[in-house]
Chain A
Amino acid sequence: MTARAGVVRASWRAGSAVCAVWPRWFRRYSATRDPIQRQQDGFMRTSEAAPPDDPAGDQSVSPEALVALRGDMLRFARLQLRDAAAAEDIVQESLEAALRRASTFAGQSALKTWVFAIVRNRIVDHLRQSQRSVNLSSLGDDDGAPSGDEQLDALFNDSGRWRAAARPAAWPDPEASMRSRQFWRAFEDCLAQLPPNTGRAFMMREVLGFEPAEICERMGIRSGNCHVMLHRARMKLRSCLERAWGPGEGRSC
């Protein structure tokens, strides 16, 4: 009886010691995880925020200001749809919608943000309406086998560690790059270089905020391949950006 009580007491003591350590460990761990999580939350919120849909409008937004954004809108839509005609239609509709709803827009500084939200929502609607917008025959040309990607073999050795020349180094401050036209031009070029289906899936995820399960379903591919596709897109975009930014100082594992 007393032996049993001793064991219980000992295990209770051990348990409380774990409890005392756990929160500290967990806090430290969460701190490292937070930045990505926070970004993700913000991103889901903004991508789902629809601009107010009020058909009555005055002309507080000048047509000239909108037309000046047309080129940016068109490239933006093309990169996501990989279909020049559909992109053209969506941009046209978005411009017309923006003019109709001009009264709901407040503040010239955010005109592009507002118009891009309209374009994004139209693209989401387009993708959801056109069942199987992807022609399945084109799946093979960029995203066939889930393994054997030469690009990945160039980065990692046989035991799966970074090759010396490929080890990631710190990137320059993105805030500074984001103010540069030249940077955004290179960025769009990098996005355009993604193979069509990989690019479409990636943009659905990162620009439109689709859940991976829905991306798979819309593109008619198995769920495992969806993560593979998104991962490949990130690896490709990363390599391209690294070239754009120039090689940094290599680090060892």
Chain B
Amino acid sequence: MLNCREVTELCSEELDRALGLRERMALRAHLMMCAGCTQFRAQMATMRRLMQAYAQGDAAGLGDDDAKDEGSAPR
């Protein structure tokens, strides 16, 4: 039986590769019982959607003034 931590890893991996049948079944079994992980999976889907929108330039334009100090270094 997978725990929540392992399930979050699978939820991430399914965005990067096709899961095997056994993994998909284990994931589904857990999700049926766990609202937290079900939300987590939905959040992963939302994040992918946001990233796609961002990649395609759908983000509301912020203009030039922010360009100076953002993005080049982590904080």
Contact = CB atoms under 8 A, between A and B. Distances in A.
B3 A161 contact: yes
A137 interface: no
Interface string A186-226: 01110111111001000001111000100000000000000
A15 interface: no
A19 interface: no
A160 B74 contact: no
Contacts of B8: 231, 235
Interface residues of B, number: 55
Most buried by B among A179, A188, A234: A234
Contact of B67 (A71, A184, A212): A71
A218 to B, nearest CB: 15
Contacts, number: 194
Nearest to A212: B16
Contact of B4 (A47, A74, A253): A253
A32 interface: yes
A116 B56 CA distance: 6
B20 interface: no
Given A179-B60, A252-B36, A195 B70 contact: no
A14 B66 CA distance: 66
Given A174-B46, A238-B43, A72 B5 contact: no
Contacts of A208: 55
Contacts of B75: 192-193
B30 to A, nearest CB: 9
10 contacts: A32-B31, A76-B54, A113-B56, A152-B5, A167-B36, A168-B39, A178-B60, A180-B60, A181-B61, A251-B35
Interface of B: 3-6, 8-9, 12-17, 24, 28, 31, 33-37, 39-67, 70-75
